A and B are shown apart, each in its own frame.
Chain A
């Protein structure tokens, strides 16, 4: 299967700070999604981004498919951004998840 590596594994931010999360993957993919798993365990879709750049409010993401990586940018972080951020990729219908970046935003 495809190997998915996320970095950093853990991140602590002061409220208002910016951050960049990275996702590297080992093979060509036709699907890449970023998710936020909140402290209650729910998975929230952030971006469907197999290539290109998208923005949604304080969040944006860029995927460079030819170089097999994706970046998630969080600007002006808030305490509600805390949780685990997962990158997941697929070549067919099966998703391969990274181990996540655990983000804690402190007031």
Chain B
């Protein structure tokens, strides 16, 4: 009974490169959330997606960041032209589709380092 899977666990990019972070939700979950954690801080909401739909992207930076959750395959958080300030841990969470519980389950995170 696998939990939320994220890969890669660690990602190193040089300034200007692209970073692609993947998240596979728990089996049976159709809601995916992305959060960012800067060093010594709590997590900050970025985006909430369901299959093929972005429901709430109020926490996403306006430029360079995008997210998708296609009909097939994992959710992708994409960061274009990375800068040093993008260095952080990026966590994905998923929750079940039923309205009775919106408990979120978190993956192990992807630690992005921008050189």
- Chain A interface (Cβ within 8 Å of chain B)? 4, 30-31, 33, 35, 41-43, 45, 48, 86, 88, 90, 92-100
Contact = CB atoms under 8 A, between A and B. Distances in A.
B35 interface: yes
A98 B106 contact: no
Contacts, number: 55
B102 A88 contact: no
Interface residues of B, number: 26
Contact of B42 (A30, A31, A90, A100): A100
Q: Could you tell me the dominant secondary structure of chain B's interface residues?
A: strand
Nearest to A35: B106
B74 interface: no
26 contacts: A4-B42, A31-B102, A35-B106, A41-B89, A41-B109, A42-B109, A43-B106, A45-B103, A45-B105, A45-B106, A48-B101, A48-B103, A86-B43, A90-B102, A92-B56, A93-B33, A93-B56, A94-B45, A94-B48, A94-B59, A95-B35, A95-B43, A97-B35, A99-B41, A99-B42, A100-B42
